Amino acid sequence: MQKNALAIHDISCIGRCSLTVALPILSSVGIETSVLPTAVLSTHTGGFTGYTFRDLTDDIEPISTHWKSLGITFDSIYTGYLGSFRQLSLVSRITDEFSHRDTLVMVDPVMGDHGKLYANFTESFAAGFRELCKKADIITPNLTEAALLLSQPYKDSGYSKSYIEDIMKRLAETGPEKIVLTGVSFSENSLGCAAYDRAKNETSFIFDESIPGIYHGTGDVFASVLLAALLCGFQLPDAASEAVTFTAAAIRRTSESGRNPIYGVDFEHGIADFAQNLKS
Residues that bind ligand PXL (CB under 6 A): 10, 12, 17-18, 41, 44-46, 81, 110, 118, 217, 219-220
Minimum distance from residue 21 beta carbon to ligand PXL (Å):
8
Instruction: Pick the closest to residue 176 from 195, 147, 198, 193 (CA basis).
Output: 198
Minimum distance from residue 210 beta carbon to ligand PXL (Å):
19
Residue 118 or 234: the one with the smaller Cβ distance to ligand PXL is 118
Dist. CA 91–CA 275, nearest whole Å: 29
Instruction: Pick the closest to residue 104 from 72, 138, 129, 67 (CA basis).
Output: 138
Residue 18 or 99: the one with the smaller Cβ distance to ligand PXL is 18
Residue 22 or 249: the one with the smaller Cβ distance to ligand PXL is 22
Dist. CA 236–CA 181, nearest whole Å: 12
Minimum distance from residue 234 beta carbon to ligand PXL (Å):
23
Minimum distance from residue 201 beta carbon to ligand PXL (Å):
31
Minimum distance from residue 202 beta carbon to ligand PXL (Å):
28
Residue 41 or 172: the one with the smaller Cβ distance to ligand PXL is 41
Residue 26 or 172: the one with the smaller Cβ distance to ligand PXL is 26
